[in-house]
Chains A and B, each alone.
Chain A
Amino acid sequence: MGNDLLNVIELSDFNLPTMKNEDWKYTNVAPILKNNYVLGTSLGYENYLSLPLNDYFFKDFDYYKVVFINGIFVNELSDLTGLESGIIVDSLTNFQKNNSEILANHLNKYSAIDNGFNELNNTLSTNGLVVFVPKGKVVDKPIQILYLNGDSNENVLSVPKNLIIAEENSQATIIANYHGIKGKEYLTNIVTEVYAGKNSIVDFYKIQLEEENSYHVEKVQAYQEANSLFNHYNFTFGGSITRNDINTCLNDENIESHFYGLYLAHKEQHVDNHTFVDHAKPNCMSNELYKGILDGKSRGVFNGKIMVRRDAQKTNAYQSNKAVLLSKNAIIDTKPQLEIFADDVKCSHGAAVGQLDENSEFYIKSRGIPKDIAKSMLIRAFAADVIEKIKIDELREQINHLVFEHLNRVEVKNN
């Protein structure tokens, strides 16, 4: 297939942010702009069916299976057998055909277009995922979605749009699992909207394992109704430049939101996490725990904004972000941002950056354990409080494995 048949996108047509923009101060997206990209959906998915797709899924627990290749929902590789009637997991296109009213009530209702990446997604996204959980329904198994992106010969742009609708009293667990295809540089640019209705519980796991020559940008915007609980778990391993914006709006009372993040970077990887917790109403609680492990010449950015609006009395909002630098060439820029307009609130934030503790390393070595294993134990110890928040036991140990695999260090397993 020649380039002339493909839909070539020039990113310069979109007003992508520059470092002059305060929100992008530490993240230079210029390397992304040096390529022209073909839209992933124009490549089709048939060429990739020989890849060992099953190996990319997290294993040893039951899940509903969805496969996206370069932004195309691949029905024949997905397995939704047993999904209770009324619960819908489908492509955005199909959902539009069959449930256009529901879609119209939710799509693009929560996420504003904040920057050129959002605009790019909005303009080009023709496909994506919808998870619709109607009132009172509980999805009995996690929905694991494999997003496979990239191509050996083309610079691919994938622009999936995800929409999670959890109606009143419903419950769902989503695992968004991003992988890459070895080859040319590619850009994955996602917008995810989450609607958590009254009394609903949404657990959203994102595990980013893209190729290390790829670019990955996602904006998550959640909107929460009264008594809802939204847990977002964000694990970054891959990508050359990664930018996550994770936002939630707590727009009624007794809402709870938890953001957990663990990001690893080595070589020259760049990982930027921006979070925004918007407390609009009273008696809500948010808690945020982000940890970074930076090796080589990698760079991490954390910017955590908490807004407590005037009405949001009795808010409890906590934020903690820590980074450990495994090499003297790694850098972290961290910025907590609290904007509080209510007077009866409990808010705290803390940031810490350091190396692995020498005294702890000595303790471990003094038991005859060699230095490399001692360091791995301390890495596991550092990541532990984030990883322990994972509710799926089997996923927890697989994430631990990825930590050591990614850092190319000896693995420490509990057995």
Chain B
Amino acid sequence: MLVIKNLKANVEGKEILKGINLEIKAGEVHAIMGPNGSGKSTLANVLAGNGGYEVTSGEIYFEGKDLVELAPEDRAREGIFLAFQYPIEIPGISNATFLKTALNEVRKYHGKPEATPKEFLELLKEKSGVLGMDPQFISRSVNVGFSGGEKKRNEILQMLMLQPKLALLDETDSGLDIDALKIVSSGVNVFKNKDNAVLLVTHYQRLLNYIVPDYVHVLSQGRIIKSGGKELALELEEKGYDWIKNDELIEENV
């Protein structure tokens, strides 16, 4: 589904990603872990097409299409979804308007008719039910006056409504208490199936108790320095990131 080859990217002229190689197949859950400043969020933003990040070399293919050339709205329509670390507040635009506009743009791209008001409401009811959201939220402005947990839940709701092929979750666990974490995780678990994929970006192992990854990658200074199964996350939790850094240092010295 996603193939990243030797990806390098700059933020404000500074190289943050220094050669990433990664392949994600349908049905897989990958976790990218790493210390602050390692480039985790940069990777998520580059994949979603944030204009503040410049790809300097390398390739990204999504379902065989060159992603680097695609505008962010087209990436979304092709099936990439980024759940933001810091979701944006949009006063004056209701969640209903926002979700309906997004849903219909994606449907239009795929040659499907717009959702009827009834279809939209039924879909919304089903998906917001998964996340235990108060139906009143729909008439409120996007993320305005939402708590940190509500904002993250709203990101997951948008994901469930749009049904992307690849969901990128950027530090979705940050700032969540345990109850909110469980709800958000259950939303992701309802979402995932054999035809889609999830890339979790997280600093902590905690999230991975609820969303179990097939692969864990450790990112440090813009490179994936170690990959493994879900047990790698536990090892990281136990020994800290220094363990890998030292390990890597030793390997390099040998």
Contact = CB atoms under 8 A, between A and B. Distances in A.
Interface string A388-409: 1000000000001000000000
A358 interface: yes
Interface string A340-380: 00000000000000000011101111111111011001101
A387 interface: yes
Interface string B86-115: 011011111011100110011001000000
A101 B109 CA distance: 70
A98 interface: no
Contact of B102 (A367, A371, A385): A367
Contacts of B92: 380-381, 383-385, 387-388, 400, 414
A195 to B, nearest CB: 34
A415 interface: yes
Contacts of B72: 362, 365-366
A413 interface: yes
A87 interface: no
Contact of B73 (A359, A370, A381): A370
A412 interface: yes
Interface in B56-93: 71-73, 75-77, 81-82, 84, 87-88, 90-93
Using C-beta atoms within 8 Å of the partner chain, give the interface range for chain A: 20 to 34
B90 A366 contact: no
Contacts of B52: 358-359, 362
B91 A385 contact: yes
B76 A384 contact: no
A368 B97 contact: no
Contact of A413 (B75, B81, B97, B105): B97
A376 to B, nearest CB: 9
A381 B93 contact: yes
A412 B105 CA distance: 14
Contacts, number: 93
Contacts of A387: 92
B124 to A, nearest CB: 14
Interface residues of B, number: 32
Contacts of A365: 49, 71-73, 76
Given A369-B101, A384-B141, A414 B106 contact: no
B158 interface: yes
Given A365-B72, A384-B141, A415 B90 contact: no
Contacts of B50: 359, 362, 366
A363 B106 contact: no
B98 A366 contact: no
A373 B105 CA distance: 11
B93 A368 contact: no
A366 B87 CA distance: 12
Contact of B162 (A362, A367, A413): A367
A387 B93 CA distance: 12
B96 A364 contact: no
Nearest to B105: A368
A384 B91 contact: yes
A407 to B, nearest CB: 15
Contacts of A378: 90
Nearest to B84: A363
A358 B51 contact: yes
Contacts of A368: 73, 76-77, 102, 105-106, 109, 162
A363 B87 contact: yes
B88 A363 contact: yes
Contacts of B106: 368
B184 interface: no
Nearest to A387: B92
A364 B84 CA distance: 11
B48 interface: yes
A366 B82 contact: yes
B239 to A, nearest CB: 35
B93 A380 contact: yes
Given A365-B76, A368-B106, A360 B88 contact: yes
Contacts of B98: 364, 367, 377
A298 B253 CA distance: 64
Contacts of B94: 414
Contacts of A360: 88, 90
Contacts of A381: 90-93
A368 B75 CA distance: 7
Nearest to A377: B93
10 contacts: A363-B88, A366-B82, A367-B98, A370-B105, A383-B92, A384-B92, A412-B101, A413-B97, A414-B93, A415-B96
Per CB-CB distance, the 5 closest pairs between chain A and chain B, nearest first, are: A384-B92, A368-B76, A367-B102, A363-B88, A384-B91
Interface of A: 358-360, 362-371, 373-374, 377-378, 380-381, 383-385, 387-388, 400, 412-415
